[in-house]
Amino acid sequence: MKQPETQVADGARAVPRRGLVGGPDFEFFRRRYFTPAEVAQHNAPEDLWVSYLGSVYDLTPLARKYKGDLLLKPIVEVAGQDISHWFDPKTRDIRKHVDPLTGTLRYRTPRGRFLHVPPQLPRSDWANDFGKPWWQGVRYEVGRLSAKTRNIRIINTLTAQEHALEVGAQESMWEILHRCLPFNAHAASYTWKYEGKKLNMDYTLEENGIRDEDEEFDYLNMDGTLYTPAILLYFNDDLTEL
């Protein structure tokens, strides 16, 4: 039997039953994937996310700690954006270049020097007692960046309500269900089906047979947005609220 390539998100606890539906304990649930559009929503100093090298980071605590510092400005300017081009993918460190003034290898900062980057020349006011630079380690990491996203429709057959979602291609159905909670707190009280077949909630869309046909649409010069897969929710007569 084919094993799912993705599991329920880290931090989720499996419970035998919740009403009529088994699944993760959403009290401890953590999202694994975020879309670029979601990252882009966090674009202010008081809510500052960035992505780089495939991961998503919440730099809000960093911005709060260094509020008013001029070295924070280049980071605030890229809030909500992907800054992978700042980094060497092999070393996962900031890209370096030979400084024409000193002839030494220095961090490359075309937007200007930012937090935790040493000054070009020795300075008495340079404090390097911050430990690891903010871009090293996982202290600010909140999840992975979805390399590929897909659009789906969620149709509640009980209420006839329909919602369009952009989800990560690598997300499990449980993670997609988690996205539905803001508009349907009882989403786990439904059986989820596609083309009459009950979905395996531990599997991704692709693993459940909901194919990503974007390349085929492009090849045929067709507008793929005109066909968005529809997942139907059938009520189980159980008011599960997560």
* CATH code of 67's domain: 3.10.120
Taking residues 60-78, report their average pLDDT. 96
Q: Indicate the burial class of 181 (C-beta count within 10 angstroms; 0-12, 13-18, 19 or more).
A: middle
3-class DSSP state of 227: coil
3-class DSSP assignment, residue 210: coil
Residues 44 and 135 occupy one common structural domain:
yes
Query: Per the structure block, which two tokens stand in for 14?
Result: 């499996």
- Residue 7, pLDDT score: 43
Location of structure tokens 């309500």: 161
Do 164 and 103 lie in a common domain? Answer: no
Task: Dig out the tokens for 82 from the structure.
Answer: 């992907």
Element (H, E) at 233: strand 230-235
pLDDT, one tens digit per residue, over 148-200 is 999 999 999 999 999 999 999 999 999 999 999 999 988 989 999 999 999 99
Q: Report the distance separating Cα 133 and Cα 122, nearest Å.
A: 18
Residue 189 lies in domain: 148-235
Looking at 145, 173, 188, the residue that finishes a domain is 145
Q: Say if 226 falls within a structural domain.
A: yes
Last residue of a domain, one of 145, 171, 200: 145
218 and 132 share one domain: no
* DSSP structure class, residue 106: E
